Copies of this chain bind each other. A is one copy, B any other.
Amino acid sequence: PDWILVEEDGVEKLQRAFPFGNFVDALAFSNRIGELAEEEGHHPALLTEYGKTTVTWWTHKIHGLHRNDFICAAKTDQIFQGNETD
């Protein structure tokens, strides 16, 4: 599954679910994305569940998608793939 476009309350967002073997690994990934969010000064919604973290990016100020959201989505993928380029 790749990123999909979802609409919540009239706001377009980028969303992708990342699979994990358990809850701890899903939460660890949420923490890595939390670090990315702090670095970027841009914050997603992170839904952590048993075996899955769902990441949703959108730009609060413009109630929709900005170029930065696509960049953050790509960086999220890189972190999932474990080849972060700092």
CB within 8 Å of B: which residues of A? 23-24, 27, 30-31, 34, 37-38, 43, 45-50, 60
How far, in Å, is A76 (CB) from chain B's closest CB?
Answer: 14
B residues less than 8 Å from A46 (CB atoms) = 27, 30, 46-49
Kindly report how many copies of this chain are found in the complex they form together.
2
If over half of A's interface residues share one DSSP class (helix, strand or loop), that class is named, otherwise mixed; here it is helix
CB <8 Å contact, A45 and B43: no
How far, in Å, is A46 (CB) from chain B's closest CB?
Answer: 4
Supply 11 further A-B pairs (C-beta < 8 A) apart from A24-B38, A45-B47, A46-B48.
A23-B37, A23-B43, A24-B34, A27-B30, A27-B31, A27-B34, A30-B46, A34-B48, A43-B50, A45-B48, A50-B60
